[in-house]
Structure 1
Amino acid sequence: MALTLEEIAAHPALHRCIRVQAQAMNQTYEMNPRLASVFATQQRWLMAHIGLALHFRREPDDYRKELTAARFLDAIRQNSVASRNTADAFVKEMLHYGFIEYVPTAQDGRIRPMQPAAASLEPVTLWLMAHLQTLDGLDGANRLALFLARPDALAMLQPRIADGLLSSNPVREPKQTFSLFTWLNNGGVVMDWLISGVDPEHAGLDRIPTGVVSIGDFAKWLKLSRTHLARKLRAAEDLGSVGWLGQRGQSVMWVSRDFYGEYMAAQAVKLAIMDAAFTETFGSTAAR
């Protein structure tokens, strides 16, 4: 039986497990920042999940049900994720950088099936593995081992996760500060980096220290404009969500207890969706 949102949110090990998860996400980003940019904003993240779900649900014997630009644009419209122009630009960008590719076909020449390049699936797999490890850390189950033992696990599991994410109001309409960062390029990476430097023992403080000291170094690591990052951080400061223990930009940065709580709540929602999808796909993990 899957862990519920309430069970995850209240688990005493959640803060420790989420910090490890955030550190794993940082490592994935460092491996290939350009590829990680596919998921740079929440909108792009959801579009990528829609595209992957269409790919994994394709019917190879029916070329009309392959992943195509037309089917992708229609799915984006049905789920109200982005405008047609934004979705079309996303497809063209993915093709340009080789993250997706056209599939040769001897069928109807008017239909051009696409598929993700093999390298594009690696960060998705690592993302899934990090979250399954978090869930296992909460209840001692063996989701990650089961996932790794099944070569078809990603194809089976990802579409159900995509369905859950797209149908979740908390995912689609995040809270104030979390929303501020989800529309920033690499905003998810910004939040993961901040949280990865938080000592779980400090979670109850009003101002929780992070590992960030220099905006310039932070922006350089993120491959972001220092000015752009500073502007977003200033907006978060105006909300009382982040600040500095000393001189601005030259001392340890803190996050507010409310912002930290927003991040943890968002992770709990996502983990509950993923565990429900995992249980639906593979059955009970049992080993609790």
Structure 2
Amino acid sequence: MDQAEVERLAGGPPRLSVEEICHHPRIAEARKVFLDRFLALYSGDPYTIRLLIESGRFLVYHIAGVLDAGVDPARRETWLTITRLKQEMSRFGLASDRHIDGLIARLCSAGFMDLKPAEQDRRVRILKPTEKLKSHDRDWLAAHIAPLEVLFPEHDYSAVMEQDRLFHARYRRISILFLPLGASLLLSLPDSMLFFNHAAGAVVQAELLRSAMSAPGYPDGLIPGAGIGERFGVSRTHVRQLLVAAENAGLVRLSARGNGSVQVLPRQWASYDRGMATGMYLHDLIYVATEQEARSMERQEQGVLINGPW
């Protein structure tokens, strides 16, 4: 997606850039806020972690929520069918059709989604995110907007932070337009994808970085790696395999003495901040576009009240 298309969708030039966010003098403070909010979202809930925190699994839930916000019962092409979900998932190339079918079944059995015949055509089955999933998504979005509040307090993000349900529904409906941009941005972050492509990889990475930020010698100090995944229900073997892959990518250094210590390397700090900044850039784009739509609808409603419906 070129810059002109981004500006068309956003209603004008983006007010933030990835570079501006990434090199903000308070980026470490924003990172700490994000890590705390993100980990609190999943702390003590190993089942949800296993169900939602991995690239293919997360995208099934995330894209389903986005598409559901744009459903118009009178327009069949907007219905959230499994086929339509798979079509949007194909942009990311992170899950096979069979994998998606299995994930949908698990989301339904866990109470995150329903799969029922369409009222307009009983032959067609429609996916519907439940309130349980929508509530989780409101918390998830607030965690990702929180660091923007730290860096840019002059911008008002209260609608998401206070979990305004109408604003959230509009935000998710407008997010449909930004799915191609989101796919290209996500796939441009290989270091982030290394963790994201592993079950619970994102929370293991977040816990690793948060521990490193509070350890003596930050940002170069050693931290114990053995217990990183325990509170998320992740085995030590799985964490060890993930850390070995991260070491091979130049993101961490594992202790040669075999005591399980880990050092987060400069490349990991830099790539995590860039990934976080990329997400913040996208969220701000959608936030501004949502605000513009809300103001436009308010003006239209005021015009009807003043001039009458005819």
Q: Which amino acid aligns with 2:171?
A: L
Return closer, same or farther for 1:106/1:156 CA change in 2, 3 Å cut-off: closer
1:255 maps to which of 260, 264, 269: 264
Larger Rg: 2
Are 2:282 and 1:273 equivalent residues in the alignment?
yes
3-state secondary structure, aligned to 1:143: coil
Pair 1:213 & 2:224 matched = yes
Counterparts in 2 of 1:32-71, with a 5 A limit? 32-62=45-75, 65-71=78-84
- Aligned equivalents of 1:202 and 1:4: distance in 2? 33
* TM-score (normalised: structure 2): 0.79
- C-alpha distance after superposition, 1:60-92 (max 9, x if no partner): 344663312222123223554432222222212
What is the SS of the residue equivalent to 2:20? helix
- For structure 1, which segment, 233-242 or 23-32, has the greater mean C-alpha deviation from structure 2 after superposition? 233-242
- Identify the match of residue 133 of structure 2 among 105, 116, 120: 120
Worse overlay, 253-262 or 236-245:
236-245
The one-letter amino acid of 1:209's match is G
How many residues are paired up? 278
Secondary structure of the corresponding residue to residue 228 of structure 2: helix
Amino acid at match of 1:172: L
One of 122, 141, 158 as aligned partner of 2:154: 141
Q: Is the 8 A contact 1:165 1:171 kept in 2?
A: no
Give unmatched runs, 5+ long, in structure 1: none
1:160 Cα deviation after fit: 3.8
Structure 1's 97 and 224: CA in aligned 2 closer, same or farther, altered over 3 A? Answer: same
CA distance in 2, matches of 1:179, 1:12: 26
Cα deviation, residue 42, structure 1: 2.1
2:186 to 171, 175, 186: 171
- TM-score (structure 1 length as normaliser): 0.84
RMSD: 2.8
Give SS of 1:263's match.
helix
What SS does the corresponding residue of 2:39 show, helix, strand or coil?
Answer: helix
SS at match of 1:132: helix
Change (3 A) 1:105 1:30: same
What letter matches 1:90 in structure 2? L
- 3-state SS of 1:188 partner: helix
1:224 aligned partner, one-letter code = V
User: Over residues 221-256 of structure 1, what are the superposed CA-to-partner deviations in whole Å (9 max), with x where a residue is unaligned?
Assistant: 2212221221121222233422356843444x3210
Name the SS for the 1:87 alignment partner.
helix
Q: Tell me, in whole angstroms, the C-alpha distance in 1 between the residues paired with 2:153 and 2:52.
A: 29
1: CA distance between counterparts of 2:129 and 2:91?
A: 22
